[in-house]
């Protein structure tokens, strides 16, 4: 899942709101809800006073003075602060995306261990390790959607499933494609994203993780709308961690590119959206076979 982040802005603004620990934990990684905004804010959560462990703080950083709809959306993320009359203020210009994520704690999901440079050398024995630096694209592994996909892929490998042609649609940082390649190293891989920045980031992350540049076809495209991606079909594994609306819209294309007997892993949807997303793929002849849920975020697996 990707977002078009601008890392330098003429003026940054900050909105500070109190929040509960539970709200802060939900917002600690990427938050797909804010991607509906043209310029999503960067969210930072902190515990101002360790002696008050349930009283946390949300700082939302905006590129330029935020519009009312953006402020309302951020406020909706912390219902406990509904009565707080805080206003945004201008702040010193910084790269808030990288700053907010640079010291994210490592993630363990199944056999996978995902870390930034701040935690290099901390991987447990036997883990499949990826260095995914914080920055310009969605998918460091810290949101439940990405972690849920990692766990689903790990479970599929544990069941003995094998794949020969794999595509990661909406690849973001490339992490899910990298994880699949670690599980099924002999398969052919493609990764696409509508955001060209994400494709650049994926290429950078391939180098950072010693993945050969020719190990994966990287394409900037919405869904599968590219001749190279279509020529590489059919795929026997499709991974799509995007949002519910695009997943539904892409159902005919993704299902059509899936080989008979192939599997598709879908994420980026809320639990309340799972029925509609599943129905869109069932209408294309797919059958639900597995599901895991982290918080409000399910990961679905269907088979053709």
The neighbouring-strand residues paired with 242 are none
Q: Give tens-digit pLDDT for 195-219.
A: 898 899 899 999 999 999 999 999 9
Q: Is 241 annotated as a binding residue?
A: yes
Predicted TM-score of the model (pTM): 0.68
Question: Would you say domain 12-94 falls under CATH 3.30.70.120?
Answer: yes
Q: Is the pLDDT of residue 2 over 50?
A: no
Q: Is 272 annotated as a binding residue?
A: no
Which region among 91-95, 145-149, 233-237 has the lowest average model confidence (pLDDT)?
91-95
Domain residue ranges in the chain = 12-94, 160-303
Q: Give tens-digit pLDDT for 132-157.
A: 876 544 444 446 788 899 999 999 99
Q: Give tens-digit pLDDT for 257-284.
A: 999 999 999 998 888 999 999 999 999 9
Q: Give tens-digit pLDDT for 96-123.
A: 445 545 445 677 788 898 877 666 667 6
Q: Are the C-beta atoms of residues 156 and 225 closer than 8 Å to each other?
A: no
The pLDDT value recorded for residue 35 is 78
The CATH classification number of 160-303 equals 3.40.50.150
Question: Is the fold of 12-94 the same as that of 160-303?
Answer: no
Measured between alpha carbons, how far is 292 from 269 in angstroms, rounded to an integer?
12
Measured between alpha carbons, how far is 254 from 240 in angstroms, rounded to an integer?
9
The pLDDT value recorded for residue 29 is 61
Q: Is 39 annotated as a binding residue?
A: no
CA distances from residue 200 to 118, 214, 255 in whole angstroms, order as listed: 22, 14, 27
The dihedrals phi and psi of 153, each to the nearest 5 degrees, come to -60, -45
Measured between alpha carbons, how far is 246 from 173 in angstroms, rounded to an integer?
19
């Amino acid at each position: 899942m990707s977002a078009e982040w601008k890392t330098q802005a003429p003026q940054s603004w900050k909105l500070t709101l109190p929040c509960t620990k539970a709200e802060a934990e939900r917002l600690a990684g990427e938050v797909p809800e804010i991607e509906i905004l043209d310029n999503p804010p960067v969210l930072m959560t902190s515990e101002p006073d360790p002696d008050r462990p349930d009283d946390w703080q949300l700082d939302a950083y905006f590129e330029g003075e935020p519009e009312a709809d953006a402020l309302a959306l951020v406020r909706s993320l912390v219902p406990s602060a509904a009565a707080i009359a805080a206003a945004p203020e201008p702040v010193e210009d910084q790269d808030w995306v990288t700053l907010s994520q640079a010291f994210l704690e490592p993630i363990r999901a199944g056999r996978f261990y995902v870390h930034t440079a701040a935690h290099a050398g901390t991987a447990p024995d036997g883990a499949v390790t990826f260095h995914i630096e914080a920055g310009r694209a969605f998918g460091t592994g810290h949101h439940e959607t990405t972690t849920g996909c990692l766990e689903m892929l790990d479970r599929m490998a544990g069941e003995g499933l094998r794949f020969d042609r794999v595509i990661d649609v909406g690849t973001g940082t490339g992490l899910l494609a990298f994880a699949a390649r670690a599980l099924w190293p002999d398969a052919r891989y493609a990764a696409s994203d509508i955001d060209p920045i994400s494709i650049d980031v994926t290429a950078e992350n391939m180098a950072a993780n010693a993945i050969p540049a020719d190990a994966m076809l990287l394409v900037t495209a919405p869904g599968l709308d590219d001749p190279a991606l279509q020529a590489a079909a059919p795929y026997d594994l499709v991974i799509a961690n995007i949002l519910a609306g695009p997943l539904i819209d892409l159902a005919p294309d993704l299902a059509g590119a899936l080989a008979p007997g192939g599997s598709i892993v879908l994420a980026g949807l809320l639990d309340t959206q799972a029925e509609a997303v599943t129905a869109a793929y069932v209408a294309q002849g797919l059958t639900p076979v597995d599901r895991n849920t982290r918080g409000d975020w399910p990961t679905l697996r269907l088979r053709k």
